[in-house]
Amino acid sequence: MYEIAKHEGRYDGAAYRGCHPPRLTCSRSIFRIQALSLEEPNRATKPPKVGAVLVRDGQCLGECYRGQTGDGDHAEYGLLEKVLAGVDVSGSTLYTTLEPCSKRMPPRVPCAERVANRGISTVWIGAYDPDPRIQRFGWAILKRQGVARRDFPRDLRAEVAADNAIFIDSFRVGHGDSGTARFDYRLNDGRFLVADTRAGVFETRWTSCSSDCIYAYDAAHLVAHPRGADCFHDVDDPSAYEFASYSLPVREGELVIFRNEGGYLLVRVDDVQDGGRTDDRWELTISWEVRRSVPAEDEP
C-alpha cells in the first residue's frame, strides 16, 4: 500500500459553483490502472477500460482493473471480493473510472450493490455507462443506499472518455452495410451514425414520440416512409419514395429511409423504450441495410 494525499474538503456543487472542484490527487494512479484493463476474447464488442482505487484516510486500501482477477471480472467486483475480500472498508472512498454496474445475471450481484453493502461512504465516478440498460442506474442504487456520489473534474472525465472512445462509440456509431444497434436516443443529441458502408456515412437522428413509436429526422436530406413495408426486401428501389419531410413518426416494426449523396439507408425500428410507466429507460433498437445509388445510365 502507498500513500495518496486526500483531496481537500468535501465537494458540494453549490459551494464550488463557479470554480473548479477539488483535484483528485490519485488520478495518475487510477489512469495507470485503467490502462491495464484486459480484452475479453469471447465478447463481441470491445469492453470498457475500467480502473478502481479504494482510499481511506489518505491511505490506498487497494486497486484493481477490469479483468485483473479473472476473465470479465468488473474492476469493483475484483477489488471488493478478491483483492480486499474480508477487509473492513467501511467509511472509505471509491474512485472508479466507470459508473458501477446496476445489473448482473443472477446469482451475480451488481457492483453498485456490492459497493453499498461494504459500507463505502463516497464514490467518485469518471463516466456514466453509455449502455442504456445501465446508464445512471448504478448511480441511482448508490443514492438509494445512502452512498455519496461525486463526479470526476471535467478534465479527468475527458481523459476517461478518450481512453474509452471505442466503447462509447459502440453506442453512437454502427459499421457496415447491414447491422443492428441499441442506444439511448436522448444522448448525443439523438444522433446515431452508420459508417464504413459502400455508400459512405449516414447520420440518423431520433426523438421521443410514444411508447411504441419514435420520430426519425434528417433536416439536410429529409426522410421517407415506405408505408406497409416491414422488411428490407419489401423495398425495391428506395428512390421511388417521396422524401418530403425532415421528420416522420415510425412505429415498431416499420421502416424509414435515410439518404446521402451515395445512397440510401433503410432502417427498421425494432423496439422503442420511452421511459414511461412500463419502460425504465430510453432505448431504441434498430436494424439497417444500405443501398447504393444507381447511376441513371446504369438503370435498365
Grid coordinates belonging to 286: 434498430
For residue 1, give Cα distances in angstroms to 61, 63, 79, 258: 7, 9, 14, 56
Q: Cβ distance 132 to 159 under 8 Å?
A: no
CA gap 90, 250 in Å, rounded: 50
d(C-alpha 290, C-alpha 263), whole Å: 7
Spatial contact of 117 and 84, defined as CB atoms under 8 Å apart: no
DSSP at 81: I
Interacting residues of 99 by C-beta distance below 8 A, sequence separation 6+: 112, 125, 127, 128, 129, 134, 135, 136, 138, 139
What is the pTM assigned to this prediction?
A: 0.77
Domains by residue range for the chain, with CATH: 27-168 (3.40.140.10), 173-298 (no CATH)
Mention every residue, 6+ apart, whose C-beta is less than 8 A from residue 6: 25, 55, 57, 58
* pLDDT at position 17: 34
Gap between the Cα atoms of 273 and 276, Å rounded: 8
Maximum pairwise Cα distance, the chain: 77
| Residue 209: predicted pLDDT | 92
Q: What φ, ψ does residue 178 adopt, rounded to 5°? A: -150, 155
Q: Which residues neighbour 264 within 8 Å (Cβ) at sequence distance 6 or greater?
A: 199, 238, 239, 257, 258, 290, 291, 292, 293
* pLDDT tens-place values along the chain, 300 residues long: 233 333 433 333 333 333 333 445 555 577 777 777 766 555 555 678 999 999 999 889 999 999 999 988 999 999 999 999 999 999 999 999 999 999 887 888 999 999 999 999 999 999 999 998 888 999 999 999 999 999 998 988 999 999 999 999 999 999 999 999 999 999 999 999 999 999 999 999 999 998 899 999 999 999 999 999 999 999 999 999 999 999 999 999 999 999 999 999 999 999 999 887 666 788 999 999 999 986 544 544
Alpha carbon 68 to chain centroid distance?
22
The secondary structure of residue 171, as a DSSP letter, is T
- pLDDT at position 11: 34
DSSP element (H, E) containing 28: helix 27-34
Contact 150, 124 (CB under 8 A): yes
Residue-by-residue DSSP string for 100-159 = PPS---TT---HHHHHHHTT--EEEES----STTTTTHHHHHHHHTT-EEEEPPHHHHHH
- Please report the pLDDT score of residue 16 as a whole number: 30
| pLDDT at residue number 214 | 97
* CA gap 187, 227 in Å, rounded: 28
State the angle between helix axes of 27-34 and 154-163 in degrees (0 to 180), rounded to the nearest 10. 10
